[in-house]
Amino acid sequence: MTLRLNRIVLWLFCLLCLVSVPVLAAAFVPTASLAVLTYHDIGMPEVGYCISRERFLSHLNALQQEGYTFLPLEAVGLFLEGRYVPPSKAVVLTFDDGYASFYQEVYPILRERAIPAAVFLITGDVGRGRRLTWAQIREMERDPGVHIRFYAHAHNGHELIDTDGDKVPDTRFYAGRQWLAKEGRRETTEEYRERIRKDLRAARKAIETHLGHASPYFAVPGSGWSRVLARVAQEEGYRYLFAPTWGKFVQRGWSPQRLPRLDAGSIRPDGKAVTPEQLLNLLRSRDLRGNLNRTCSRGLLP
């Protein structure tokens, strides 16, 4: 009798193992992800946030040869809302600050290859110095041959501010309470909130006025993210915030108020620009997870 009972317990144990293996496996499969690449200026010399046209082309060539799909930025919103599952090999191209080189160097390449992209503008700088003009921006947005969209990055709030009265700018405009030198004190949280609200609103209104559409996407300058910013940005109509230092790939289920990007367009600490091989290696670390998840999540999304 005891022997039979032991057998039953053993069979039950085996059955439990068989059932739990796929359950446990599913629990450890990471969610689908999407890579959003960041570039800034294109030209020579390769320094800071500027890489050469040839370097940028080598990235595109490598991605195309490896079979990557280029998605418009708007795919990120659909993905996060659960209305779209990106292919495992997919990237989104974004460009920050609105350099004129985007019109001169990047736009013709994207147009020729029908590659979509998004540009995050410092709206207060449009038309100044080495920046794009509104006429160029409108021309690119209205081009039926390629999908290029422009969203907000800041109006004037791109610079650093002093937060402790030592006259050394130390924090991003949007990230913290500013030192008010004349009054010898820091802003209150309410003053901070209203300062950034003013800039976020000015950037949104510039996009609406000059381009006739909203800016649900916003790239936070530098690493200047804060909870106050996330809340105020949401109130001002920015639904998806990119904060570059947080991680690597956008994943389903993550907060749309703190989305990561991959910096592909700046000079690395070793003094060199990102090579096509380095870029592909970085993306490959994601491919496996994407493939696994695509198999498992098929049917879960509409």
Count of residues touching Zn ion (by CB under 5 A): 3
Q: Count CB neighbours of 151 within 10 A.
A: 25
Q: Is 244 exposed, middle or buried (0-12, 13-18, 19+ CB in 10 A)?
A: buried
In the complex with Zn ion, the residue whose CB is nearer, 202 or 296, is: 202
- Closest to Zn ion by CB, 219 vs 273, is 219
Is residue 199 within the footprint of Zn ion (CB under 5 A)?
Answer: no
- Residue 157 engages Zn ion in binding (rule: CB under 5 A): no
Which among 106-114, 213-221, 232-240, 257-265 is the span making contact with Zn ion, rule CB under 5 A? 213-221
| Per CB under 5 A, 125 contacts Zn ion | no
Report the C-alpha gap between 188 and 177 in whole angstroms: 7
The reply on whether position 97 binds Zn ion by CB under 5 A is yes
In the complex, what is the shortest distance from the CB of residue 100 to Zn ion, in angstroms, rounded to a whole number? 15
- Can you name the residues that pair with 42 across neighbouring β-strands? 51
Stretch that binds Zn ion, among 83-91, 132-140, 217-225, 294-302 (CB under 5 A): 217-225
Closest approach of Zn ion to the CB of residue 90, in Å:
24
Would you say 204 or 252 has its CB closer to Zn ion? 204
Residue 281 sits at the vertex; the CA angle it makes with 275 and 285, to the nearest 5 degrees, is 150
**Which C-beta is closer to Zn ion: that of 46 or that of 96?**
96
Q: Give the integer Cα–Cα distance in Å for 90 and 84.
A: 13
CB nearer to Zn ion: give 97 or 236. 97
In the complex, least distance from residue 48 CB atom to Zn ion, rounded to whole angstroms:
11
Q: At residue 91, what is the residue type?
A: V
Q: Which helix (H) or strand (E) holds 90?
A: strand 90-97
Contact pick of 41, 46, 96, 199 for Zn ion (by CB under 5 A): 96
Under the binding rule (CB under 5 A), the answer on residue 46 touching Zn ion is: no
221 binds Zn ion (CB under 5 A): yes
**Residue 279 CB coordination number (10 Å):** 20
C-beta of 229: minimal distance to Zn ion in Å?
A: 15
- Reported as type and span, the H/E element at residue 171 is strand 171-172
Q: Tell which residue, 52, 11, 101, 63, has the closest CA to residue 262.
A: 63
Contact indicator for 273, 54 with CB cutoff of 8 Å:
no
Distances (CA, A) of 91 to 26, 42, 259: 25, 19, 14
Using CB under 5 A, list all residues that contact Zn ion. Answer: 96-97, 221
